[in-house]
Structure 1
């Protein structure tokens, strides 16, 4: 059962990371970064959350 949860976490993590990068690379985010230098919090949340899910999933699959 732990391996199944790990695989699901990895899949969710990959999807979150891609979503975060998509938000980061969007036109509105590029314009915001150009004028204010700020990156949308959704982009950081998606990318960091995705990496955390991938790491946790890999640890569950490993055991």
Structure 2
């Protein structure tokens, strides 16, 4: 059961990372980065959330 949850977290993390990557390279994020020096909050939250979910998912899949 834990491996199924781990796989679901891994897939969800990959999806969030994909959306975060697209958001990071969007026009709105680039304009915000030029003005403020950092990308939009959505891009950061998608990337951080995706990375955390993927790491937890990998840990649950690999753990015996």
**TM-score normalised by structure 2 residue count:** 0.90
What is the aligned partner in structure 1 of residue 34 from structure 2? 34
Q: Could you tell me which runs of 5 or more consecutive residues in structure 2 were left unpaired when the two chains were aligned.
A: none
Q: Which portions of structure 1, spanning 4 or more consecutive aligned residues, are displaced by more than 6 angstroms?
A: none
Counterparts of 2:44 and 2:32 in 1: how far apart (Å)?
14
RMSD: 0.9
Number of residue pairs matched by the alignment: 63
What is the aligned partner in structure 2 of residue 9 from structure 1? 9
Report SS of the residue matched to 1:54: helix
Give how far 1:36 is off.
2.3
What is the aligned partner in structure 2 of residue 43 from structure 1? 43
Identify which range, 27-36 or 2-11, moves more after superposition.
Answer: 27-36
Deviations 1:2-47 (A, max 9, x none): 0000000000000001111111100111112112223111111100
Q: Could you tell me which runs of 5 or more consecutive residues in structure 1 were left unpaired when the two chains were aligned.
A: none
